[in-house]
Amino acid sequence: MPERQNFNDIWGNCLEIMRKRVPQQTFNTWFAPMKAISLTDENLFLQVPNKFFYDWVDSHYREIILNSLKEVTGNGLGVNYTILLGEKSEKSDGTYDNQVPENKPPLPESDVKIGMFEQGTRLNERYVFETYVEGTSNQFARAAAMAVASAPGRTSFNPLVIYGGTGLGKTHLLQAIGNEVIRSGRARKVVYVSSDTFTLDFIAAIQKNKTTDFSRYYRSVDMLLLDDIQFFQNKEQTQEQFFHIFNDLYQHHKQIVLTTDKPPLELRGLQERLLSRFQSSLTVDIQPPDLETRIAILQKKANDDSLDIPYEVIEYLSMNISSNIRELEGALIRLLAYSSLIRVDIDLNLTQRVLREMLGTRHTSIVSIESVQSTVSSVFKINLDSLVGKGRTKEVAEARMVAMYLTREYTDLSLKTIGLYFGGRDHSTVVHACRWVEERLKEDPIFSRLINDLKAKLSQNNMRSL
């Protein structure tokens, strides 16, 4: 190969060839983001945005890239990848590319592996506040987490307990606290651990007669981030050990942050003295995100991963998967995979097809709270702002109670979340609304037909969206 050939020119010519051989959407998603960064006698080195991107390109498009390289260079030039990781690049063989200088400070002491329990912070560097999308459902929790990260152990938010359902971002927020504290140097020794890992460490310590070492290690931390404390339920010895560690850290003003899937009051199988300490802490919740936040989350993920996704696709996914961020992001990845495998552009029709296959029959029962509100507003002939606002006229109040009832029927949202969607009302208001509708259904056949008509409209609208 002539030495004068520039790697940018070679890759540019390859891109022109591949542009003609794959759908435009596939090209924009998987080929355009790659950049040529160097060339040897044997390989062209390409930089890709992340590990997932590399895995997908290498497993699905390696042949088309190699064939394009052969057409351009006339020989069997290979390809290697460099994965962009912040300020450094990791090659696909696991080594690091020295072309990108690393200016990160040395690892804090908490990242050094020493002995049986000191396994580093265990933090994921991608879980930071900058990548956490804020919305009304998590605003208070994020603010509390940032306050703790800015002054660990020196606020009244100690311990901080964050609770919420699966896949809503508790772990992201928990680790964001740790990453921020390490980045700023506000704490010397930060440990993130799941309750399962904590338990397994404790069991290993018992087996090896090292419970004293176990206790000493956890008592020595400046910040303890403990995920999913509900899994301590019915583990009496683990709870006993954690209780003493908790007390020691608290008395020495060391920051403790915990997550759980339920409010502390609803946890069962935990010692009363532990529950008492959890309940005396600042407890903040993360609710399922509203539509706007779900859209923002998917848009950010698409931007971060250099993915070209039409807005109508993002909106459709956000409207049909409402309770779980993890499931929402999983649907996007599945859609990308499907598009690449069958070599078609991502559009609304493909999205509807993929979502039907992904969710199966469950998808036919998905009705968003926004759909309930708009349908009830239309049938009762009242303004949507009045339905979710402070209006107290009889017509508005009855329509609002019907909408709350149908939301309870068709969604998995909690009573508290439903109340938030209707002007920030208390969960007891939702309970009253549901009981009012149920009682009237027994007594008023005309009202019963109205509710049945509303349910039919919601089902029709949902099927039409498929």
Report the CATH number that the domain containing residue 73 is assigned in CATH.
3.30.300.180
Cβ atoms of 377 and 383 within 8 Å: the answer is yes
pLDDT of 105 higher than 50: no
Query: Within this chain, do residues 361 and 373 fall inside the same structural domain, yes or no?
Result: no
Query: Within this chain, do residues 228 and 276 fall inside the same structural domain, yes or no?
Result: yes
Whether 217 is covered by a domain: the verdict is: yes
Whether 66 is covered by a domain: the verdict is: yes
Question: What percent of the chain is predicted at pLDDT more than 70?
Answer: 86
Residue-wise burial string across 288-315, b where 16 or more C-beta atoms lie within 10 A, e elsewhere: bbbeebbbbbbbebbeebbbbbeeebbb
Whether 12 is covered by a domain: the verdict is: yes
Query: Mind listing the pLDDT tens digit for each residue in 355-412?
Result: 777 765 444 445 778 889 989 999 999 988 889 887 788 899 999 999 999 988 887 6
Question: From the CB of residue 113, how many other CB atoms can be counted at a distance below 10 Å?
Answer: 7
Whether 137 is covered by a domain: the verdict is: yes
Query: Within this chain, do residues 217 and 77 fall inside the same structural domain, yes or no?
Result: no
Q: What is the mean predicted confidence (pLDDT) over 134-153?
A: 89
Query: Mind listing the pLDDT tens digit for each residue in 280-303?
Result: 788 898 888 888 888 888 888 887
Structural tokens at position 346: 């991502």
Which residues pair with residue 106 across a beta bridge? none
Cα gap 213→358, rounded to integer Å: 47
- How long a stretch of residues is the chain? 466
Structural tokens at position 305: 């991963």
Q: Which distant-in-sequence residues (6+ apart) come within 8 Å of 436 by Cβ?
A: 401
Query: Within this chain, do residues 387 and 438 fall inside the same structural domain, yes or no?
Result: yes
Query: Within this chain, do residues 258 and 327 fall inside the same structural domain, yes or no?
Result: no
The residue among 10, 48, 55, 52 whose CA lies nearest residue 32 is 48
CATH of the domain at 373: 1.10.1750.10
Supply the range of the domain harboring residue 329. 291-365
Whether 1 is covered by a domain: the verdict is: no
Q: What is the mean predicted confidence (pLDDT) over 161-167?
A: 87
Query: Within this chain, do residues 275 and 295 fall inside the same structural domain, yes or no?
Result: no
- Mean pLDDT for the chain overall: 81
Q: Of 286, 304, 334, which residue constitutes the final position of a domain?
A: 286
Query: Within this chain, do residues 235 and 302 fall inside the same structural domain, yes or no?
Result: no
Query: Within this chain, do residues 350 and 205 fall inside the same structural domain, yes or no?
Result: no
Q: Reduced to 3 states, what is the DSSP secondary structure of residue 220?
A: coil
Cα gap 177→181, rounded to integer Å: 6
Question: From the CB of residue 422, how many other CB atoms can be counted at a distance below 10 Å?
Answer: 20
- How many domains, in total, are found in the chain? 4
